[in-house]
């Protein structure tokens, strides 16, 4: 086999081992949203490995969809490593209850957000929950949150292919996933794993966004590729998925995520192909 040939059987074996080859919704229950909420579309944002920009892409999609007039929610399913509240300037905030339900936090732009950070007494405490506690949190975030009317609920998935990722796929009515990659990702192994995971869960892949794809020299505008050349075309050809655009490395973006000013500072019309793919 040539070095660049993809070994589909090997990937399938690996995913089979992780997921036990269970078809969707066989096993865990399908979560039901409460009768005071109605969610039209649930969209997942996934990647084959951590730290490539899932939360950033979730935030961009949510902000752009809200700017277009849609009612948007974000379920931060990265229970042990939540980063959505900080990006949206909700650090230190707590959600409160109404009866046995939870009222989600809201960003300045009206995006409803539910995340572990919003229920922890001290958001800097590590979340040491395991197994049933994690699943319980996810179920509550979906079922017991007073989402109200939502057009698009974006689910920021935890990195990798662990229990929570599997539960999200099996328990939420995910309509499609956006895969986030970086030029550092090994296409066949890392991106292949994410594509295969979605396929085995019978969830359509809306397409792939390549983050940290290039950088523009602030002096001369020359495009640099610090993480190597883009793999996006290779991914599109290999897995027959849609190209949803490339995001440059931009220190301003990182700074606005840290400062909680991301939503107001995000330029209009970011990754329009990805936004349209979710809207379609």
Ligand X SMILES: Nc1ncnc2c1ncn2[C@@H]1O[C@H](COP(=O)(O)OP(=O)(O)OP(=O)(O)O)[C@@H](O)[C@H]1O
> Applying CB under 6 A, does 85 fall inside the site for ligand X?
no
- Looking only at residues 140 through 169 of this chain, which bind ligand X when binding is defined by CB under 6 A? 159
Residue 52 marked as a ligand binder: yes
| Residue given tokens 């989402």 in the structure block | 147
**253, 266, 271, 275: which one binds ligand X (CB under 6 A):** 253
- Contact range with ligand X by CB under 6 A, out of 54-62, 99-107, 184-192, 223-231: 54-62
> Applying CB under 6 A, does 56 fall inside the site for ligand X?
yes
Q: How far is the CB of 34 from ligand X (least distance, A)?
A: 27
Q: Are 48 and 205 in contact (CB under 8 A)?
A: no
**55, 116, 145, 161: which one binds Mg ion (CB under 5 A):** 55
- Looking only at residues 81 through 100 of this chain, which bind Mg ion when binding is defined by CB under 5 A? 83
148 phi-psi bin (left φ>0, alpha ψ -120 to 50, beta other): left
- Contact range with ligand X by CB under 6 A, out of 108-116, 216-224, 232-240, 247-255: 247-255
Residue 263: CA atoms inside 13 Å, Cβ hemisphere, count?
20
Site size for ligand X, by CB under 6 A?
Answer: 20
- Contact range with ligand X by CB under 6 A, out of 48-56, 163-171, 184-192, 265-273: 48-56
**15, 44, 46, 53: which one binds ligand X (CB under 6 A):** 53
> Applying CB under 5 A, does 188 fall inside the site for Mg ion?
no
Residue 55 marked as a ligand binder: yes
Nearer to Mg ion, 141 or 146 (CB): 141
Whole-angstrom Cα Rg for the chain: 18
Q: Is 55 exposed, middle or buried (0-12, 13-18, 19+ CB in 10 A)?
A: buried
Nearer to ligand X, 27 or 272 (CB): 272
Q: Taking the mean position of all CA atoms in its chain, how far away is CA 273?
A: 16
Residue nearest to ligand X (CB): 50
Site size for Mg ion, by CB under 5 A?
Answer: 4
Structure tokens, 99 = 């009866």
* β-bridge mates for residue 101, sequence order: 98
CB neighbour list of residue 238: distance below 8 Å, 6 or more residues apart: 6, 187, 188, 192
* CA distance from start to end of the chain: 39
Distance of alpha carbon 121 from alpha carbon 221, whole angstroms: 45
* β-bridge mates for residue 215, sequence order: 224
Q: Which residues bind ligand X (CB under 6 A)?
A: 47, 50-56, 78, 81, 83, 159, 211-212, 247, 249-250, 253-254, 257
Indicate the annotated binding residues for ATP. 48-55
């Amino acid at each position: 086999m040539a070095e660049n040939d993809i070994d589909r059987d090997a990937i399938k074996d690996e995913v089979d081992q992780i997921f036990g080859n269970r078809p969707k919704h066989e096993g865990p229950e399908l979560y039901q949203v409460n009768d005071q909420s109605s969610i039209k579309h649930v969209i997942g944002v996934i990647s084959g490995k951590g730290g490539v920009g899932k939360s950033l892409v979730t935030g961009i999609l949510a902000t752009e969809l809200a700017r277009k007039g849609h009612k948007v929610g974000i379920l931060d399913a990265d229970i042990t490593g939540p980063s959505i509240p900080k990006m949206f300037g909700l650090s230190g905030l707590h959600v409160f209850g109404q009866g046995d339900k939870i009222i989600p936090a809201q960003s300045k732009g009206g995006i409803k957000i539910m995340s572990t950070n919003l229920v922890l007494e001290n958001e800097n405490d590590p979340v040491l929950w395991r197994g049933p506690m994690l699943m319980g949190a996810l179920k509550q975030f979906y079922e017991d949150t007073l989402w109200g009317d939502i057009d698009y609920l974006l689910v920021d998935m935890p990195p990798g292919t662990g229990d929570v990722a599997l539960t999200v796929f099996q328990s939420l009515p995910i309509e499609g996933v956006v895969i986030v990659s970086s030029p550092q990702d090994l296409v066949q192994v890392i991106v292949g794993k994410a594509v295969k995971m979605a396929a085995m869960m019978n969830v359509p892949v809306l397409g792939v966004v390549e983050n940290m794809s290039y950088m523009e020299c602030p002096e001369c505008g020359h495009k640099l590729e610090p993480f190597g050349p883009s793999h996006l075309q290779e991914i599109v050809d290999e897995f027959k998925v849609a190209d949803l655009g490339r995001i440059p490395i931009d220190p301003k973006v990182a700074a606005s995520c840290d400062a909680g000013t991301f939503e107001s500072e995000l330029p209009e019309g970011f990754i329009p192909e990805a936004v349209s793919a979710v809207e379609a």
